[in-house]
Amino acid sequence: MKLHPVKSARDIRLDDDDARVPGAGRQSGKAVERATAKQVERIATLQRVFYADGRHALLIVLQGRDASGKDGTIRKVFTAVNPQGCTVSSFGVPTPLEARHDFLWRVHAQVPPRGMIGIFNRSHYEDILVPRVHGQLDKDGMLERCEQVNDFERMLGENGVTILKFMLHVSRDEQRRRLQERIEDPEKNWKFRAGDLDDRARWDEFTRAYRAVLKHTSTKHAPWRIVPADDKPLRDRMVAETIADALDGLDLRYPKADTTVKDLTVE
């Protein structure tokens, strides 16, 4: 059950059925939890050497509709990571100052330096999706921003930043359940905004915008992965494994002590 990178438009399946993993019901909840715990531990172990090595940065982009599980994924997948080696940046509606800059200004400032894992809870992709759906960006404007994003991400890649992009794909029904819970559960009220219902009403427009953006920004150096996100434990498992594998593939090593250090003795 690995997540595959989007290589062509054919890989972009965003129907309601695609929010579930086929045959997933056969796995016991306990087995999935154990598998996730293993990946979470792998991430924690690899992060130690990743931090010490200091040659690479890892940028994890989490996109998805409201209630698609971005916050939950961060809570579960990074639970064992040393907070000192990790930053989380959330992107909301641009402030007046942000809106006066180019759309990548606020984003670039949050890209992790080498040695760090940076998590984007929403991202520069909101700056394409939202204005596209709300009519402020026509098709050419959208394609222009996609090209600018591709250039930006390629530049980051050439400067030591590995980028993993996840689109958490939730079905219409599951989103309804989760939003309803936010309305009814006093402990979840704070997560709900009336605007969430406006975005839900534009479900098909967002699907179309996501499809176009995923198609035009899934590059060799920074491909998208679509995560079937209706089942939370499976979602965590798949995201955690992808991140652990990416860290594993970086050929990390602890820097060698310099020779003068080797000769010292602590009295």
The contact pattern for ligand AMP, residues 176-215, with x = CB under 6 A and - = no contact, is -------------------x--------------------
Q: Under the criterion CB under 6 A, does residue 92 sit at the interface with ligand AMP?
A: yes
Report yes or no: 9 and 213 within 8 Å, Cβ to Cβ: no
d(CA 81, CA 178): 27
Report yes or no: 265 and 63 within 8 Å, Cβ to Cβ: no
d(CA 236, CA 233): 5
223 binds, among ligand AMP, Mg ion, none (CB under 5 to 8 A by kind): none
Q: How far is the CB of 52 from Mg ion (least distance, A)?
A: 36
Binding ligand AMP by CB under 6 A: which of 127, 153, 174, 241? Answer: 127
Binding Mg ion by CB under 5 A: which of 60, 66, 225, 226? Answer: 66
Q: Under the criterion CB under 5 A, does residue 153 sit at the interface with Mg ion?
A: no
Report yes or no: 202 and 45 within 8 Å, Cβ to Cβ: no
- What is the size of the binding site for ligand AMP (CB under 6 A)? 10
What is the spatial order of strands in the sheet that 224-228 belongs to? 86-90, 117-121, 57-64, 161-169, 224-228
Instruction: Report the interface residues with ligand AMP, using CB under 6 A.
Output: 66, 91-94, 122, 126-127, 130, 195
Instruction: Report the interface residues with Mg ion, using CB under 5 A.
Output: 66
